[in-house]
């Protein structure tokens, strides 16, 4: 067992090559005593304060060091007016170099933090020891997604509409989002719509989680950052993840994983299963009663770490569908 000494709430920052400030915090065991080093990538409207809730005792026993950082424009990190798929991966590589994580490290990408994760697989595979996607987004503009999988998915129309409005009518979108969140906060009626009962139960013990509010959105800089993040995630990419070859051909243990909640109301389960079928080098896991907020379920986080780092699979999360 490795003694845990890393201060969980201490934040640090450093200057990136382009002059932007990037903020991060370290968790788990001290880096110098660690057996495994992980960079955790948060999602939309989030920050480094939303912890990946793996049990501290497990991290001590396994010797796990985790660094959580604020992606561009979130928390204590400066915005990137030139945000792109590549820039997100570059920020991660600079963070790894700054912290001297070594030649290889693991990454865990949550929700919309999956698009920087895909970019790391595309551009930084030589630096990766393993990858876990947790409820990753699926971009409806990936060229090889078949219409047969998309035809009954109403989310496709919504994302297309939102992407167009975000690109060509940002002022209208800003007004609409403030109005929508104002209505939500007054009625509290939309929260159960997007989150399952299990999600809402997990939120009771979730550090750093706050719903997006109208007051927060009134800040133009907050809105601009959310808009740029959304546009990069759901616009056309310069590569198709479904056409990627195995980044670890020499490793027969499949060190890339996708974890998905079968009750997730944000991400289409059918699409996630299609991704796993198209990319057989990815190991796919399903949490049958899980929603979107799997990172706040300590049992799931424990299973994610054991699978990613030790190759130990939990039968409870074996998918129960046939292709």
pTM of the full structure = 0.94
Q: How many residues does the chain have?
A: 323
Of 177, 149, 137, nearest to 258 (Cα)? 137
Whether 292 contacts 264, CB under 8 Å: yes
Q: Specify the pairing of strand 105-110 against strand 128-134.
A: parallel
Q: For residue 6, which of 54, 58, 67 has the smallest C-alpha distance?
A: 67
* Predicted local confidence at residue 253, as pLDDT: 81
Report how many domains make up the chain: 1
Tell me whether residue 37 is in a domain: yes
What whole-number percentage of the chain has pLDDT above 90? 84
Q: For residue 182, is it within any domain?
A: yes
Q: Which domain holds residue 274?
A: 11-317
150 close to 176: Cβ distance less than 8 angstroms: no
Beta bridge partners of 28: 65
pLDDT at 210: 82
Q: What is the pLDDT averaged over residues 135-156?
A: 93
Residue 133 confidence class, pLDDT cut points 50, 70, 90: very high
Query: Residues 167-177: pLDDT tens digits?
Result: 999 999 999 99
Tens of pLDDT, residue by residue over 193-239, are: 789 999 999 998 887 788 889 999 999 999 999 999 999 999 999 99
- Report how far residue 226's alpha carbon sits from residue 73's, in angstroms, rounded to the nearest whole number: 8
- Give CA–CA dist 178/193, Å, rounded: 18
Mean pLDDT (whole number) for 75-93: 98
- Asked if the model's pLDDT at residue 179 lies above 80, the reply is yes
Domain presence at residue 167:
yes
Q: Is residue 6 part of a domain?
A: no
Q: d(Cα 297, Cα 301) in Å, to the nearest integer? A: 6
Query: Does residue 62 contact residue 309 with C-beta atoms inside 8 Å?
Result: yes
142 found inside a domain: yes
Strand pairing of 36-41 and 64-69? Answer: parallel
What integer pLDDT is reported at residue 8 of this predicted model? 53
DSSP 126: G
5 domain-assigned: no
Average pLDDT on 262-272 reads 95
Strand stretches in 18-127, DSSP E = 21-28, 36-41, 64-69, 105-110
> Which CATH number goes with the domain that contains 103?
3.40.50.1820
The two structure tokens encoding residue 133: 């996607």
Is residue 162 situated within a structural domain? yes
Residue 26 domain-assigned? yes
- b vs e for 231-242, b when ≥16 Cβ sit within 10 Å of the residue's Cβ? ebbbeebeebbb
- CA atoms within 13 A of residue 168's CA, in its CB half-sphere: 6
């Amino acid at each position: 067992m490795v003694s845990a000494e890393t201060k969980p709430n201490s934040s640090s920052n450093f200057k990136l090559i382009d002059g932007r400030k990037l903020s991060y915090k370290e968790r788990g065991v001290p880096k110098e005593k660690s057996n495994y080093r992980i960079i955790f990538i948060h999602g939309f409207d989030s920050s480094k304060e939303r912890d990946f809730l793996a049990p501290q005792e497990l991290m001590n026993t396994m010797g796990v060091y985790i660094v959580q950082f604020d992606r561009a424009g979130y928390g204590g990190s400066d915005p990137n007016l030139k945000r792109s798929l590549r820039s997100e991966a570059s920020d991660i590589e600079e963070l790894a170099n700054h912290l001297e994580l070594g030649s290889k490290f693991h990454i865990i990408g949550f929700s919309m933090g999956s698009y920087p994760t895909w970019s790391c697989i595309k551009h930084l595979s030589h630096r990766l020891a393993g990858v876990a996607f947790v409820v990753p987004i699926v971009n409806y503009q990936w060229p090889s997604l078949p219409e047969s999988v998309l035809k009954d998915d109403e989310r496709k129309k919504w994302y297309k509409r939102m992407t167009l409005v975000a690109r060509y009518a940002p002022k209208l979108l800003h007004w609409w989002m403030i109005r929508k969140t104002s209505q939500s906060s007054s009625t509290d009626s939309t929260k159960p719509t997007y989150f399952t009962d299990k999600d809402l139960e997990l939120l009771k013990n979730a550090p750093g989680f706050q719903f997006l509010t109208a007051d927060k959105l009134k800040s133009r800089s907050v809105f601009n950052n959310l808009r740029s993040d959304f546009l990069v995630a759901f616009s056309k990419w310069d590569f198709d993840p479904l056409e990627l070859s195995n980044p670890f051909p020499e490793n027969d243990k499949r060190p890339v994983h996708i974890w998905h909640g079968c009750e997730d109301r944000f991400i289409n389960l059918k699409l996630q299963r299609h991704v796993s079928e198209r990319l057989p080098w990815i190991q796919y896991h399903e949490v049958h009663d899980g929603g979107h907020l799997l990172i706040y379920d300590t049992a799931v986080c424990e299973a994610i770490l054991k699978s990613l780092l030790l190759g130990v699979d939990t039968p409870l999360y074996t998918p129960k569908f046939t292709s």
